[in-house]
Amino acid sequence: MANRSFVYTANSYSQGPIEAVGLSEYNYEVHPLYLLLVAFNTEIIFSNVIEEEEKTAVIGDFEKGKNLVFNFLELILTYDKSFHSDSFETFVAVSKEVLGQRKQKYVTLESFEIIQSSEDNFVAGMVQELEGIKNQIEEMYAKHLRGDLVEKDIYETSFYNDFEDVCTQYGQIEIEEIDWFDFWTDTLYYDLKA
């Protein structure tokens, strides 16, 4: 088992084989940006990759999810000096380009490998958790547009702290040393291209 989470986009989410295109995968945990992608109109479904007894896949509105990603990355670029680097700015530009090119309706997060390795189906409370995350980002972005947001507002949110922890592998690497190369890649362990 590879122990990874991954996301793919599709125009359908009916159970069984679907036409889907791989988008990104991340080892050992669910990357916070994946959570933003599936944060709108979220539903928990059975995996379209494996047969399983419990629902472990999370699906959301791709257009709204990617805009939430864009808004969050804009907030980080604007207010968080620790992420002011050429590599992160390039990552933001690449994210806008890659996600902007995708025109599918849905995005699906698959995390069954992580669930199987941890024996903990954390998907059960995912809809409520995602609603809270979405609200955090939307409230911050609204304050940003009004000119009322300050740097500490971002640092005080649980989502930002989760994002920073995962990006720095829980403080084991410095922010300027993060390798953003190929974060968004359509070459996944599971070939989902129709």
In single-letter form, the type of residue at position 72 comes to F
Residue-averaged pLDDT of the chain: 90
Q: Please say if the pLDDT value at position 132 is more than 70.
A: yes
Residues 6+ apart with CB under 8 A from 113: 1, 2, 3, 4, 5
Q: How confident is the model at residue 194 (pLDDT cuts 50, 70, 90)?
A: low
Q: What is the pLDDT of residues 142-154, one digit of tens each?
A: 999 999 999 999 9
How far is 142 from 148, CA to CA, in rounded Å? 9
How far is 27 from 30, CA to CA, in rounded Å? 8
Q: Please say if the pLDDT value at position 17 is more than 80.
A: no
Helix (H) or strand (E) holding 94: helix 86-101
User: Mean pLDDT across the stretch 156-169?
Assistant: 93
User: Mean pLDDT across the stretch 30-47?
Assistant: 94
